Amino acid sequence: MIQLQYPLVLLLLVPIALVAFWLARRGRPAAVAFSSTEIVRAVARSRRSRWGRFLPALRWLGVSLLVVALARPHVERHHASIHASGVDVMLAVDVSGSMQARDMKSTGAAAPESRLAAAKEVVSRFIRDRSNDRIGLVAFAGDPYLASPLTLDHDWVEKSVEGLTATAQNGLRDGTAIGSAIATGVRRLDAQDAKSKIMILLTDGQNNAGKIAPGAAAEAAKALGVKIYTVGVGSKGDALVPVTNDRGRQELVMAKVDVDEPSLQQVATTTGGKFYRATDTASLQKVYDEIDRLEKTTRTVTRFDEKTERFAWFAVPGLALLGVSIALSSTRFRRVP
């Protein structure tokens, strides 16, 4: 679309000048007196004389085009190039049997939800907020497994999160293999070329399975440039945990649950990350929100503004119309009288 650099205030002078010109001609006395109109009637009926009445219109149209040309008409084009240097994020989620404990209070909920349900809700939201990052998912109990490789297909990662179930439903060996889960995630991150690689490990227990100690896995992560944020979820002491009784029915029983905070703190400190504690859904959401702020993706926006002048589009026709009107006013096409 053509834009004007200066307002067309001068264009208002054209109709004003036309009115002034018309009033001046209306009140002007006759320059030549004729004793009879019959003398000039033949001239008034001639085609050349009739063409002459359009010469002022050509002149004023030319002046109007020149006024528009002085307003600097131009066409602007804006381009934006956005470069996002994403962060590779590996999510590690504990799916052991204790993650079924019902001690995660949620605002508006009638009863506390399970730790795994709260984790799935918060992690899914975190994934939606990281649109420029590659995200993967490792689930672990007594053994870890890769639920989703690092990918930009966040819909797939979210579906993988939604499909997580606790040990009783997924057929995994029960336990909490924190060290092995870290090693599995770090191995996947090391295969990528991202400048920033992080892991967010969520668990509610202590390392009691697997062949790799959390401390050794953390040292390996540090050597490979992977930062680990650890999240201990759930309350301390006793919590209601669903179990299947001898008759095959599920019932809630009180069981002792605890988080190995010193071990998780050591893993985070070793790799340059941070340890968090979450005892309800709201605090867990705050944890992931803070990690999201700490690990922001860098975006570089480059703008290109292109301006093409259209002065000639109006100046050339305007000058041409003025020239034609002036030239014809000196020929037989001039207006008579």
Query: Quick one: average pLDDT of 159-171?
Result: 81
Range in 130-134, 135-139, 154-158, 175-179 with the lowest mean pLDDT: 130-134
Rounded Cα gap, residues 166 and 141, in angstroms: 8
Residue 30's nearest CA partner among 18, 19, 40 is: 40
| Residue 230: per-residue pLDDT | 96
| Residue 148: per-residue pLDDT | 94
Rounded Cα gap, residues 13 and 21, in angstroms: 12
Query: Quick one: average pLDDT of 126-138?
Result: 91
Decide if pLDDT at 3 tops 80.
no
Pairing of strands 73-85, 298-309: antiparallel
The band of 307, judged by pLDDT with boundaries at 50, 70 and 90, is confident
3-class SS letters over 34-49: CCCCHHHHHHHCCHHH
Query: Quick one: average pLDDT of 325-335?
Result: 66
Decide if pLDDT at 191 tops 60.
yes
- 51: which residues sit within 8 A by CB, 6+ positions away? 328, 333
Decide if pLDDT at 110 tops 70.
no
Paired residues of 256 in beta bridges: 238
| Residue 82: per-residue pLDDT | 52
Residue type, 225: G
Rounded Cα gap, residues 234 and 240, in angstroms: 11
Q: pLDDT tens digits for 217-270?
A: 999 999 999 999 999 998 877 777 766 666 767 666 767 777 889 999 999 999
Give start-end residues of each CATH 3.40.50.410 domain in the chain.
Answer: 87-296
C-alpha dist (Å) from residue 331 to 52, 61, 157, 221, 325: 10, 20, 83, 94, 10
DSSP code of residue 311 = H
Instruction: State pTM to two decimals.
Output: 0.63
Q: pLDDT tens digits for 57-81?
A: 777 787 777 777 777 777 877 666 5
Residue 191 phi, psi (nearest 5): -75, -5
Query: Quick one: average pLDDT of 32-54?
Result: 56
What are the tokens at 42? 């033949």
- What's the start-to-end Cα distance of the chain, in Å? 45
Residues written for the chain: 337
| Residue 234: per-residue pLDDT | 85
Decide if pLDDT at 8 tops 80.
no
Q: Please, what is the angle between helix 115-128 and helix 281-294, to 10°?
A: 30
Rounded Cα gap, residues 211 and 213, in angstroms: 7
Q: What is the CATH number of domain 87-296?
A: 3.40.50.410
Residue 112 phi, psi (nearest 5): -60, 140
Query: Quick one: average pLDDT of 162-184?
Result: 85
The band of 327, judged by pLDDT with boundaries at 50, 70 and 90, is confident
| Residue 328: per-residue pLDDT | 72
Cα 126 from chain centroid? 16
Residue 195 phi, psi (nearest 5): -75, -30
| Residue 217: per-residue pLDDT | 96
C-alpha dist (Å) from residue 142 to 3, 10, 168, 176: 68, 83, 12, 5
Decide if pLDDT at 42 tops 70.
no
Decide if pLDDT at 336 tops 60.
no
The band of 297, judged by pLDDT with boundaries at 50, 70 and 90, is low
